[in-house]
Chain A
Amino acid sequence: MGLDPDKLLDKLQERFPEALLERSVARGQATALVARDSIVEVCTFCRDEGDLRFDHLADVASVDWPERRERFDVVYHLYSISANHRLRLKVHAADGQEVATVTGVWPAANWLEREVYDLMGIPFANHPDLRRIMMWDDYPYHPLRKEFPTEGEPDVPQDYHVEFPPGLERT
């Protein structure tokens, strides 16, 4: 493995003493809670800093904690192919609060963020193409939120309006 998880977090703390809100190492994995406003800056640093070199954005996930004031976690899993170490970055966001996109840092974030937006309802500011990806465009819910029942909402519009071309109407 590459850098020790504690050393990774030390590097971040050194550069962002203010923006790094919490740090922890569990099961050999480093986690850093970052201020929402500085996520793009932190990610750019992680990608470009000589010892970190996080060139691969493995995943963008989201977790819902409904009883918390800022209920959502957006979780970024970074990996460095050249140095072989991993880092988990987290930001907190309240319902409706925008998180800046990291598509400018890693183009891979595009679809991953779209999925978070679709299923959890967290909007990403400055995202180049923020559309639903799994559910259809006028679907009214965000199914991964904790209040959404596993069986689904009964009043979901099942058909969506389709314009058939002349001569091909459904009979």
Chain B
Amino acid sequence: MAAEIKQAHQEIGGITVESVIETAEGRRDMTLNMGPQHPATHGVLRVVLDLQGENIVEATPHIGYLHRGIEKLAESRTYTQIIPLTDRTDYTAAMAGNQGLCVAVERLMELEVPVRGRYIRTMIAELQRIASHMVWLGTHALDIGASTVFLYCFREREQILDFFEKFCGARLTYSYYRVGGVMADAPPGVLQEIYDFTTNFVDRLAESEELLTGNDVWLARTQGVATISGPDAVAIGLTGPPLRGSGVGYDIRKTEPYDAYADMEFTVPTSDRGDVFGRYLVRIEELKQSTRIVRQCIERMPDGPVQVQDSMVTPPKREVSMTHMESMINHFMWNIHSFRAPKGEVYSAVESPKGELGYYIVSDGSNKPYRMRIRPPSFCNLQALPQLVKGYMVADVVAAIGSIDIVLGEVDR
């Protein structure tokens, strides 16, 4: 950095630039600060870009603006009380966070969820994947300049949120899953509504796809941009659609099936392109596969309980606790002390819409975890950003961030 700094902190095109260096060849090298308040970073992500002209020499992400210490908070809460915290990690896919925790605690306690409970969970998780991918597709397209798709995608997502509202009363932070099952059975009629939705959804998705896949501007902005090879993607720890977009077909739903995924027929889409377009294709295909899984769940939905029938794990039914004294006592004890998990440790991963969502729980035999570690897919995927954008242009950073699909609530926890 021998060249002199001409003017510090000047405004160029409405953006405050940290420093400008005019090189001997007349090229302007700058350090550009992007975020933490920037619409295309999808939250409070700050990226410091070292530029040579318009080319990126180095990108340094700075995170932690949304750090709330969820792992620390979890240590002073019972397992059931942690479920609302997991809603607030990946808030575009809160059901996936719930599911990750519940599957982990069930593995710790070696619990078997009833079949209907597992089917409802799988169906909800796939609807959540559709809703999360709809947010991704809409905002990713909006970042690149296709604003119509955004409205279409949010229309679809809105319907899914309506379904979730019928299931649990909430539209964003659901806390619908419970250790040992789900909070409540599906309300009457909603399964048919979801089935009808999936029928229309495939056509609606084709509308959005038509606006993008054959669009020259979209192709120019995504093809050959921010590429990463399969081995590099594995080494840097990418999981989920970004990894599958580089041709590595790692999907936890297939490799270590949980809930009802072992009974489902679906394929794991991959693309060998490794660029923004490849990741786009993978997610679009995933949406179709998720629709397939939702339909299979509804078609084969068995009858029966949706929660483990064990008074040590799940609270007594309301009808019983209001009429029997022992159940009333049980109800109070359960709500005050919750259940205990046996001593030991477990690492359990689920395939969230963003990638491998892992929970590492160390239990000391009490009703609270001694330590709970969340392995956040967004955090690990974001780590690849400097590698993805190096050598590309400033405008490609926006495309690259959109294509990894990060949620800052999960990155910072």
Contacts and interface: CB of A to CB of B under 8 A. Distances in A.
Interface of A: 1, 26-27, 29, 31, 55-59, 61-64, 75, 77, 81, 84, 86, 88, 106-108, 110-112, 115, 119, 132-136, 143-144, 148, 150, 165-166, 168
14 contacts: A1-B256, A27-B346, A58-B375, A63-B370, A77-B358, A77-B360, A77-B375, A86-B347, A88-B345, A108-B237, A108-B380, A112-B380, A133-B64, A135-B67
B9 A168 contact: yes
Interface in B41-99: 63-64, 67, 69, 71-73, 75-76
- What are the 9 closest A-B residue pairs judged by CB atoms, nearest first? A108-B237, A165-B9, A61-B373, A134-B64, A59-B375, A134-B67, A111-B383, A81-B250, A63-B371
Contacts of B412: 134
B358 A111 contact: no
Contacts of A27: 107-108, 110, 344, 346
Given A27-B346, A84-B255, A59 B234 contact: no
Contacts of A64: 371
B349 interface: yes
A11 to B, nearest CB: 20
Contacts of B2: none
Nearest to A150: B76
Given A55-B235, A56-B234, A61-B371, 14 more contacts: A29-B347, A58-B237, A58-B347, A58-B358, A59-B358, A61-B373, A77-B358, A106-B235, A108-B380, A108-B383, A119-B71, A134-B63, A144-B72, A150-B75
A71 to B, nearest CB: 13
Nearest to A59: B375
Majority SS at the chain B contact face: mixed
A27 B346 CA distance: 8
Given A77-B347, A84-B255, A61 B72 contact: no
A58 B383 CA distance: 13
Interface string B247-263: 01010000110000000
A29 B375 CA distance: 17
Interface in B94-117: 107-108, 110
B302 to A, nearest CB: 26
B64 A111 contact: no
Contacts of B69: 143
Nearest to A64: B371
Given A77-B347, A111-B379, A59 B360 contact: yes
Contacts of B362: 63
A170 to B, nearest CB: 14
B236 interface: yes
B386 to A, nearest CB: 10
Contacts of B358: 58-59, 77
Given A108-B236, A111-B383, A75 B72 contact: no
A91 to B, nearest CB: 15
Contacts of B356: 58
A57 B236 CA distance: 9
B71 to A, nearest CB: 6
Nearest to B230: A81
Given A27-B108, A61-B360, A144-B71, A108 B235 contact: yes
B395 interface: no
A133 B63 CA distance: 6
B233 to A, nearest CB: 10
B320 interface: no
Nearest to A47: B235
Given A134-B412, A165-B9, A59 B347 contact: yes
Given A27-B108, A77-B347, A133-B64, A107 B236 contact: yes
B247 to A, nearest CB: 12
Interface string B343-381: 011110100000010101010000000110101000110
A136 B379 CA distance: 17
Nearest to A109: B237
B8 interface: yes
A163 B72 CA distance: 32
Contacts of B345: 26, 31, 88
Contact of A88 (B235, B347, B375, B380): B347
Q: In the complex, which of the residues B75, B347, B358, B370 has the most CB atoms of chain A within 10 Å of its own CB atom? A: B347
A149 to B, nearest CB: 10
Interface in B223-240: 234-237, 239
B234 A81 contact: yes
A165 to B, nearest CB: 4
Contacts of B9: 165-166, 168
A59 to B, nearest CB: 4
Nearest to A152: B69
A75 B360 contact: yes
